[in-house]
A and B are shown apart, each in its own frame.
Chain A
Amino acid sequence: EITKEQRTLMRLIVDAHNRHQIPQDITKKLLQEQYSAEENFLLLTEVATNQVQVLVEFTKNIPGFLSLDHEDQIALLKGSAVEAMFLRSAQVFSRKMPNGYIEVLEERIRKSGISEEFITPMFNFYKSINELHMVEEEQALLTAITILTPDRPYVKDQQAVERLQEPMLDVLRKLCILQHPQEPQYFARLLGRLTELRTLNHYHAEMLTSWRMN
Chain B
Amino acid sequence: PGNSIGLEAIIRKALMGKYDD
Contacts and interface: CB of A to CB of B under 8 A. Distances in A.
Contacts of A57: 14, 19
Interface residues of B, number: 11
Contacts of B7: 52, 78, 81
B19 A78 contact: no
A119 B15 CA distance: 31
Interface in B1-21: 3-4, 7-8, 10-12, 14-15, 19, 21
B14 to A, nearest CB: 4
A78 B14 contact: no
A99 B19 CA distance: 31
Given A78-B4, A205-B3, A56 B21 contact: no
Interface bin, chain A: 10 to 19
- Contact residues of A: prevailing secondary structure: helix
A53 B14 contact: yes
B7 to A, nearest CB: 6
A25 to B, nearest CB: 12
B21 A20 contact: yes
B14 A56 contact: yes
Nearest to A59: B15
Contact of A53 (B3, B4, B10): B10
A60 B8 contact: no
A54 B4 CA distance: 18
- Lowest 7 A-B CB distances belong to which pairs? A56-B14, A53-B19, A77-B11, A52-B10, A53-B14, A57-B19, A78-B8
29 contacts: A19-B21, A20-B19, A20-B21, A49-B10, A52-B7, A52-B11, A52-B14, A53-B10, A53-B14, A53-B19, A54-B19, A56-B11, A56-B15, A57-B14, A57-B19, A60-B15, A73-B15, A74-B11, A74-B12, A74-B15, A77-B11, A77-B15, A78-B7, A78-B8, A78-B11, A81-B7, A81-B11, A205-B3, A208-B3
